[in-house]
Chains A and B, each alone.
Chain A
Amino acid sequence: MTTNVLFAGVGGQGIVTASDVLAQAAMVAGWSVKKAETHGMAQRGGSVVSHVRFSADGQVYSPLIPAGEAGFLVALEVLEGLRWLWMLRASGRIVCDDRRIPPITVSSGNARYPADAAERVAERGVLVPATAEASGLGEPRAANAVLLGALSPFLEIPTGAWRAAFAERLKPRALSVNWDAFARGRAFADVAP
Chain B
Amino acid sequence: MSNFTTQLLSGNEAVALGAWQAGCRVGAAYPGTPSSEILPALLECGRRLGGDVYCEWSVNEKVALEVAHGAAIAGARALAAMKHVGLNVAADPFFTIAYTGIEAGLVVVSADDPGLHSSQNEQDNRFYARHAGVPLLEPSDSQEACDFARLAFRLSEEHDLPVMLRLTTRVAHSRAPATFVAERSNREPAGAPINAAKYVMIPANAARRHVRQVEHLRAVAEWAEDAPINRVEDGVGDVGFMTGGLAYQYLREVMPDAPVLRLGLLYPLPERLVRSFAERYARTIVAEEGEPFLHEQVSALGVRAERMPDGLRLGELTVERLRAALAELGLLPAATDPPAAPRSDLPARPPVLCPGCAHRAAFAALRRLGVFVAGDIGCYTLAALEPLAALHTCLAMGAGLNQAHGIAKATGGKRKPVAVIGDSTFTHMGLPGLLNAVYNGGDYVTVILDNRSTAMTGGQDHPGTGRTLMGGEAPAIDFAAVARALGVSLVLQVLEGGADRIESALRQAMEHDGPAVVICSGPCPLRYNVRSEPLKVVSDECQECGRCLDIACPALAWDEVAERPVIDQALCTGCGLCAEECPFGAIARAGEGSAR
Q: Which residues of A contact B (CB under 8 A)?
A: 10-11, 20, 23-24, 27, 32-47, 59, 61-64, 66-68, 79-80, 82-84, 86-87, 102-114, 140
Restricting to B313-356, which residues have a CB under 8 Å from any CB of A?
Answer: 318-320, 323, 339-343, 346-354
Instruction: Report the Cα distance A80→B343, complex, angstroms.
Output: 12
Q: Quick check: A36 and B173 within 8 Å, CB to CB? A: yes
Residues of A within 8 A of B556 (CB): 107
**A44-B354 contact in complex given A36-B173, A107-B558, C-beta closer than 8 Å:** yes
Contact of B382 among A32, A34, A44, A108 (CB under 8 A): A44
Binds A, one of B128-136, B191-199, B249-257, B304-312: B249-257
Instruction: Report the Cα distance A157→B340, complex, angstroms.
Output: 29
Q: Is B26 an interface residue (CB 8 A)?
A: no
Q: Quick check: B347 and A112 within 8 Å, CB to CB? A: yes
Residues of B within 8 A of A63 (CB): 141, 170, 174-176, 249
Q: Quick check: A109 and B175 within 8 Å, CB to CB? A: no
Residues of B within 8 A of A109 (CB): 546, 549, 558
**Contacts beyond the supplied A45-B354, A68-B339: 11 A-B pairs with Cβ under 8 Å:** A37-B174, A39-B173, A41-B118, A44-B351, A44-B354, A44-B379, A66-B253, A68-B340, A103-B350, A105-B386, A108-B550
Residues of B within 8 A of A40 (CB): 33-34, 117-118, 456-457
Contact of A103 among B174, B176, B253, B347 (CB under 8 A): B347
Residues of B within 8 A of A38 (CB): 117, 173
Instruction: Report the Cα distance A61→B6, complex, angstroms.
Output: 18
A114 nearest CB neighbor, chain B only:
B346
Contact of B176 among A34, A39, A87, A111 (CB under 8 A): A34
- 1/0 per residue, CB under 8 A from A, across B246-271: the answer is 00011011000000000000000000
Q: Quick check: A45 and B343 within 8 Å, CB to CB? A: no
Q: Quick check: B252 and A104 within 8 Å, CB to CB? A: no
Residues of A within 8 A of B385 (CB): 104
Residues of A within 8 A of B552 (CB): 104, 108
Residue contacts A-B, CB under 8 angstroms, 14 given: A35-B176, A39-B33, A39-B118, A44-B379, A45-B351, A59-B252, A61-B250, A61-B253, A62-B249, A63-B176, A104-B387, A108-B386, A108-B549, A108-B552
Contact of A47 among B173, B177, B349, B550 (CB under 8 A): B349
Residues of A within 8 A of B174 (CB): 34-37, 63
A20 nearest CB neighbor, chain B only:
B175
Instruction: Report the Cα distance A111→B349, complex, angstroms.
Output: 11
Residues of B within 8 A of A39 (CB): 33-34, 36, 117-118, 173, 458
Residues of A within 8 A of B253 (CB): 61-62, 66
Instruction: Report the Cα distance A140→B570, complex, angstroms.
Output: 10
Q: Is B8 an interface residue (CB 8 A)?
A: yes
Q: Quick check: A42 and B177 within 8 Å, CB to CB? A: no
Q: Quick check: B350 and A11 within 8 Å, CB to CB? A: no
Restricting to B131-180, which residues have a CB under 8 Å from any CB of A?
Answer: 141, 170, 173-177
Instruction: Report the Cα distance A42→B456, complex, angstroms.
Output: 10
Residues of A within 8 A of B117 (CB): 38-42
A26 nearest CB neighbor, chain B only:
B8
Instruction: Report the Cα distance A46→B174, complex, angstroms.
Output: 19
User: What is the minimal beta-carbon distance from A146 to any residue of chain B, in angstroms?
Assistant: 17
Instruction: Report the Cα distance A46→B350, complex, angstroms.
Output: 5
Query: Looking at B6, B320, B457, B557, which has the most chain A CB atoms within 10 Å of its CB?
Result: B557
Instruction: Report the Cα distance A111→B557, complex, angstroms.
Output: 12
User: What is the minimal beta-carbon distance from B157 to any residue of chain A, in angstroms?
Assistant: 31
A105 nearest CB neighbor, chain B only:
B347
A169 nearest CB neighbor, chain B only:
B8
Instruction: Report the Cα distance A166→B36, complex, angstroms.
Output: 25
Q: Is B554 an interface residue (CB 8 A)?
A: yes
Query: Looking at A80, A83, A140, which has the most chain B CB atoms within 10 Å of its CB?
Result: A83
Instruction: Report the Cα distance A168→B285, complex, angstroms.
Output: 42
User: What is the minimal beta-carbon distance from A130 to any residue of chain B, in angstroms?
Assistant: 15
A85 nearest CB neighbor, chain B only:
B343
Restricting to B526-584, which residues have a CB under 8 Å from any CB of A?
Answer: 546, 549-550, 552, 554, 556-558, 560, 570
Query: Looking at B250, B342, B348, which has the most chain A CB atoms within 10 Å of its CB?
Result: B348
Which 3 pairs of residues, A with B, have the shortest CB-CB distance?
A: A40-B118, A68-B340, A40-B33
Q: Quick check: B8 and A67 within 8 Å, CB to CB? A: no
Residues of A within 8 A of B118 (CB): 39-42
B566 nearest CB neighbor, chain A only:
A107
Contact of A41 among B6, B33, B319 (CB under 8 A): B33
Residues of B within 8 A of A32 (CB): 177
User: What is the minimal beta-carbon distance from B387 to any residue of chain A, in angstroms?
Assistant: 4
User: What is the minimal beta-carbon distance from B32 to any residue of chain A, in angstroms?
Assistant: 9
Q: Quick check: B177 and A27 within 8 Å, CB to CB? A: yes
**A66-B318 contact in complex given A33-B176, A44-B354, C-beta closer than 8 Å:** yes
Q: Quick check: A86 and B342 within 8 Å, CB to CB? A: yes
User: What is the minimal beta-carbon distance from A184 to any residue of chain B, in angstroms?
Assistant: 20
Instruction: Report the Cα distance A1→B546, complex, angstroms.
Output: 52
Residues of B within 8 A of A103 (CB): 347-350
Q: Quick check: B318 and A64 within 8 Å, CB to CB? A: yes
- 1/0 per residue, CB under 8 A from A, across B100-133: the answer is 0000000000000000011000000000000000
Q: Quick check: B349 and A46 within 8 Å, CB to CB? A: yes
B565 nearest CB neighbor, chain A only:
A107
Contact of B352 among A37, A44, A82, A110 (CB under 8 A): A44
Residues of A within 8 A of B546 (CB): 109
User: What is the minimal beta-carbon distance from A118 to any residue of chain B, in angstroms?
Assistant: 14
User: What is the minimal beta-carbon distance from B541 to any residue of chain A, in angstroms?
Assistant: 20
Query: Looking at A20, A40, A47, A109, which has the most chain B CB atoms within 10 Å of its CB?
Result: A40
B10 nearest CB neighbor, chain A only:
A37
Restricting to B1-45, which residues have a CB under 8 Å from any CB of A?
Answer: 6, 8, 33-34, 36
Residues of B within 8 A of A83 (CB): 342-343, 346, 349
Instruction: Report the Cα distance A47→B348, complex, angstroms.
Output: 8
Q: Quick check: A108 and B347 within 8 Å, CB to CB? A: no
Instruction: Report the Cα distance A143→B96, complex, angstroms.
Output: 52
Instruction: Report the Cα distance A139→B595, complex, angstroms.
Output: 32
Q: Quick check: B549 and A107 within 8 Å, CB to CB? A: yes
Residues of B within 8 A of A105 (CB): 347-350, 386
Restricting to B346-378, which residues have a CB under 8 Å from any CB of A?
Answer: 346-354
Q: Quick check: B319 and A62 within 8 Å, CB to CB? A: yes
Instruction: Report the Cα distance A114→B170, complex, angstroms.
Output: 32
Residues of B within 8 A of A35 (CB): 174-176
User: What is the minimal beta-carbon distance from B368 to any residue of chain A, in angstroms?
Assistant: 18
Q: Quick check: B170 and A86 within 8 Å, CB to CB? A: no
B346 nearest CB neighbor, chain A only:
A83
User: What is the minimal beta-carbon distance from B6 to any residue of chain A, in angstroms?
Assistant: 8
Residues of A within 8 A of B8 (CB): 20, 23-24, 27, 33
A10 nearest CB neighbor, chain B only:
B349
User: What is the minimal beta-carbon distance from B472 to any residue of chain A, in angstroms?
Assistant: 24
Restricting to B219-250, which residues have a CB under 8 Å from any CB of A?
Answer: 249-250
Residues of A within 8 A of B560 (CB): 112-113
Instruction: Report the Cα distance A118→B339, complex, angstroms.
Output: 25
